[in-house]
Structure 1
Amino acid sequence: MGKTLSVNSGSSSLKWQLFQMPEETVIAKGIFERIGQEQSTMKVEFAGEKHSNEQKIIDVQQCVLLLLDTLIHYGLINDFREITGVGHRVVAGGELFKASVIVDEKVLGEIKELARLAPLHNLANPAGIEAFMKLLPQALPVAVFDTAFHSTMSEKAFLYPIPKKYYDEYSIRKYGAHGTSHYYVSQLAAEMLNRPIDELKLVSAHIGNGASITAIDGGTSVDTSMGLTPLAGVMMGTRSGDIDPSVIQYLIENVAHLNNAAAVLDELNNKSGILGISGLTSDMRDLNDARASGDKNAQLAYDMFIDRLKKYIAQYIGLLNGIDALIFTAGIGENDEAVRQDIIEGLSWFGMEISPELNIRGANGIISTAQSKVKVLVIPTNEELVIAREVETFRQLWFNQTFSKGIA
């Protein structure tokens, strides 16, 4: 018995959920946003109540202290020692981490080194881990890697067609991301379809501000759209997705303020995608409002977004030689019925058909018609629960080993 925190620490935000384990009961959840800016926000939900306030939060360390004080303030815990484990989402595990791991100083240093594979995330993740380890020394710290689920990809899928020495010597390869989400929804899809996961061929579409598509055969990742970093693949909120690599050199040589690779990568990561094409926003809700008002660039951004998603989904249906189900998940995938409708209309050749009524009703279950040859599902992702389960596995293992030693 114990309480476990699942944490997703970003460069300017920190999302969390507090679970009672092993019951998997959500006690509370919340988010800190705009960390390091003048007016940071904190939101917390529990027992049907919602609370929020604004104040300046300087860094992640202050954020973690505020979180723990908030748990005490609202009576969600009476003592810090009630928290027996903290699980941390880490985006990039590289070749080092192909499964979750208990964090020590060595592991923490290795996570920092892997920041080159996910600079937007892996620099922020260790700051959160360190803060929790300092303030909750009794809690078991566990890192759960987004890339771990994709470690089953074969060489033909994860290698780039460049001289192989760059993989052998520098570990340059496709690693993917969102693996925790793809794993969770694929397992739940098997339950919804009442079929063993090892019999299923699935395509999972994690569509949010960041987006990735994954081909899953028998419960294992066969291929995924993100690459060495989360910049590759489909068009996203602020990320370009796949482009001709020559574009980078061309921009460096011809655009004054993009005169080095770092500047171009910043442009591709933070100012491209839906934001770059629309010139307005990276948020699909705002984009839809602009489309409704007749904004041509907003409509173009939407059309390009749908186009890239359809291409990757179709590619992976071909790779798997057919699929049993297509899964929509994450913020846009779960909540935007128009995106789902427009994608499926462009894939009707594969025998997909969704019920307009079920599609509009949203957001948990099968939305395809009885006649559809491929099932289409909407499954809300729950990466936090997967993280909590990983912590519980390690905690039980640690307890059993300690107990056995004590008996001996």
Structure 2
Amino acid sequence: MPDKRANGGQVLVLNCGSSSLKFALIDPRNGNASLSGLGDSLGHSAPSVSWKIDGEKHSAALPEGAKHTEVIEFVVTNILSGGGILRADIAAIGHRVVHGGEKFSHSVLINEQVISAIQDCVALAPLHNPAHLQGIEAATKAFPGLPQVAVFDTAFHQTMPRQAYIYALPYELYEEHGIRRYGMHGTSHRFVSERAADLLGKAKADVNIISAHLGNGASIAAIQAGKSVDTSMGLTPLEGLVMGTRCGDVDPGLLLHLGVRLDYCMKEINDLLNKKSGLLGISQLSNDCRALEQAAAEGHQGAQLALEIFCYRLAKYIASYHGVLSHVDALVFTGGIGENSAYIRENVLNRLIGLGYRVDETRNLEMRFGAEGAIEPPSGTTSTPKVLVIPTNEEWVIARDAAQIIASGNSAASGQPAGGS
């Protein structure tokens, strides 16, 4: 039977990272957040929690070594109660889960089978899935009996065709070990594709877009008729674009060279590619795009080079996805960098003049800090592809999915893993 708590209730959204926990209390009907916050430096010497409720900002220190359980307990005891929010007003808990492998093509109600499946995907997301499992366990203790829903980053990309997700490796590696392209940021790509359809006045199934989610982690997706048909991240979040500290695409032979010729161990290689590369590694200064833009303007050559490589690689991917899609209705920029960096957007679009892209400098500068809209020249001045800036809202997608699943009460929401494409 449908869960009555879904009618008008809010959803507590939890996004557990390896040493952080983002949380928000979302109205799934409109995406409004009455509460949002972050537990940071979890498991370290000076963990803390900061939050905003009804527009007021607060912060507090946590006990040394505090982890996800302590943050959730703090939220329940000190924030929800102190903010006058009744636990009975919470209809469900929605969890962001990075990797669901081929087991899930949609969000599901969490049960023991789903927990086991998430555990099976730990090797594919070793920094993220264990944290998600800790969050699920902590939420179960804090909210016994409250339905919990898993929303997977990889689910949206399960519509990719085989030629997009199969690597050119011995096929038994896919058959026996599931080695293939999975993609990430699916919740964000899904949200902006739906929002782009609204802005373009089209149905979701009638829209083709290229979606660029640019932040410390970055990925790009080709979306045909509202469904993902290709994406830049692969088996793990390491493949694809240059990112804050991740290298993106490199010659696989580099790994052999590092190990055999330079005597790197596997941990050193992993740290190098995931934590010391990307914008940080190139610039030798920072992984923060804002800091790099300022330094580049002041003549820092490392910052200039890092930004040039970032934009060059992104432009190459955008151009390649024109060969994937039958046509492109719009290019969409989203994520912290995509939504706020006029410099990155203009640099990338100037590299794509051969495909007809143009940028309106005034509009581009206006599209920051939550602004939404087009940044190509006004209609009639020239024939150019649409370019949209759309602030992503992954939390709303998670809340919406959670509310819909517990309200439906049908077998599709029972927690049974769904098959891949």
Whether TM exceeds 0.5 here: the answer is yes
Q: Does 1:378 align with 2:389?
A: yes
Q: Which residue of 2 aligns with 1:325?
A: 330
Identity %: 43
Q: Distance in 2 between the 1:23 and 1:177 partners? A: 25
Q: Does 1:253 align with 2:264?
A: no
Larger displacement relative to structure 2 (266-275 or 141-150):
266-275
| 1:142-163 deviation per Cα after TM superposition (whole angstroms, max 9, x unaligned) | 0000010000001111000111
CA contact (8 A) 2:334 2:390 kept: yes
Q: How many residues align?
A: 398
Letter in 1 for 2:392: T
Unaligned ranges ≥5, structure 2:
1-7, 413-421
Q: Distance in 2 between the 1:75 and 1:199 partners? A: 43
Letter in 2 for 1:376: V
Query: What is the Cα deviation at residue 400 of structure 1?
Result: 12
Q: Which residue of 1 aligns with 2:56?
A: 49
CA contact (8 A) 1:353 1:372 kept: no
Q: Distance in 2 between the 1:285 and 1:344 partners? A: 19
Q: Distance in 2 between the 1:105 and 1:22 partners? A: 29
SS of corresponding position for 2:27:
strand
Query: What is the Cα deviation at residue 58 of structure 1?
Result: 1.4
CA contact (8 A) 2:26 2:395 kept: no
Q: Does 1:204 align with 2:207?
A: no
2:76 to 68, 76, 101: 68
Query: What is the Cα deviation at residue 264 of structure 1?
Result: 0.7
CA contact (8 A) 2:99 2:124 kept: yes
Larger displacement relative to structure 2 (30-39 or 180-189):
30-39
Q: Which residue of 2 aligns with 1:309?
A: 314
Q: Does 1:391 align with 2:372?
A: no
Q: Distance in 2 between the 1:279 and 1:70 partners? A: 41
Letter in 1 for 2:395: E
Q: Distance in 2 between the 1:199 and 1:20 partners? A: 28
- Indicate how the Cα distance of structure 1 residues 399 and 167 shifts in structure 2: closer, same or farther if over 3 A, else same: closer
Letter in 2 for 1:10: G
Q: Which residue of 2 aligns with 1:228?
A: 235
| 1:330-384 deviation per Cα after TM superposition (whole angstroms, max 9, x unaligned) | 0000011000000011111111112111110113111111234210000000000
Q: Distance in 2 between the 1:147 and 1:368 partners? A: 31
Letter in 1 for 2:117: E
Query: What is the Cα deviation at residue 22 of structure 1?
Result: 4.1
Q: Distance in 1 between the 2:92 and 2:163 partners? A: 38
Q: Distance in 2 between the 1:232 and 1:337 partners? A: 25
TM-score, with structure 2 as normaliser? 0.91
Letter in 1 for 2:281: G
Q: Over aligned residue pairs, what C-alpha RMSD do you find?
A: 1.7
Q: Which residue of 1 aligns with 2:140?
A: 133
Q: Distance in 2 between the 1:398 and 1:201 partners? A: 32
TM-score, with structure 1 as normaliser? 0.94
- Structure 1 stretches of 4+ with a deviation exceeding 6 A read none
Query: What is the Cα deviation at residue 254 of structure 1?
Result: 2.6
2:365 to 338, 360, 364: 360
Residues 119-198 of structure 1 mapped to structure 2, 5 A cutoff: 119-198=126-205
Q: Which residue of 2 aligns with 1:217?
A: 224
With a CA cutoff of 8 Å and minimum separation of 6, indicate the structure with the bigger relative contact order: 2
Letter in 2 for 1:314: A
Q: Which residue of 1 aligns with 2:343?
A: 338
CA contact (8 A) 2:27 2:399 kept: no
Q: Which residue of 1 aligns with 2:416?
A: none
Q: Distance in 2 between the 1:315 and 1:399 partners? A: 40
Q: Which residue of 2 aligns with 1:406?
A: none
1:300 to 284, 292, 305: 305
SS of corresponding position for 1:138:
coil
- Indicate how the Cα distance of structure 1 residues 82 and 399 shifts in structure 2: closer, same or farther if over 3 A, else same: farther
